[in-house]
Amino acid sequence: MQISLEAVREQMRDAEAILQQLDLTLEAIRFDPSIPASVAAAAKQTSAVIDLLLAGFRGNPVLAPLADQLKIQYLENIEYKVVASKSAQLQAANPLARVWNILRGSSKA
């Protein structure tokens, strides 16, 4: 069964409002990337919101792949924030470690 170009255009117009709602809803999800339980809750909430709002995309040959890709993208963004947070924590701790090593070295002398 082929889908007409006009049908695809109509589906895309309908999807636009849903995608805007998805963005607004997902932007409201807050979490602390340094707390694993907070990260897990955000990932779970993100998946649930995407599944709920994009449920109408399932079975649609045009929109279903988009729904899957968006879910991956949003979950990867959460993972990126966790990695960036850990990197920032390590960078912040590094000068302290150098000072500590200097102090330890001078106390041995």
Is residue 30 helix, strand or coil? Answer: coil
Question: CA–CA distance from 66 to each of 18, 62, 90 (Å)?
Answer: 12, 7, 36
Domain span including residue 72: 5-108
Q: In the chain, where does DSSP find H-type helix?
A: 5-27, 36-53, 64-108
Task: Note the pTM of the prediction, 2 decimals.
Answer: 0.73
Q: Tell me what pLDDT residue 8 has.
A: 76
- Averages of pLDDT over runs of 10 residues in the chain (109 residues) are 78 88 95 96 97 90 88 95 86 69 65
Burial of 57 (0-12, 13-18, 19+ CB in 10 A): buried
Structural domains of the chain, count: 1
Note the pLDDT of residue 107.
54
Q: How far, in Å, CA of 34 to CA of 92, rounded? A: 14
The reported pLDDT for the residue numbered 5 is 83
Pair of tokens at residue 36? 């694993």
The pLDDT value recorded for residue 109 is 47
Quick one: pLDDT at residue 10?
Answer: 85
d(CA 63, CA 83): 30
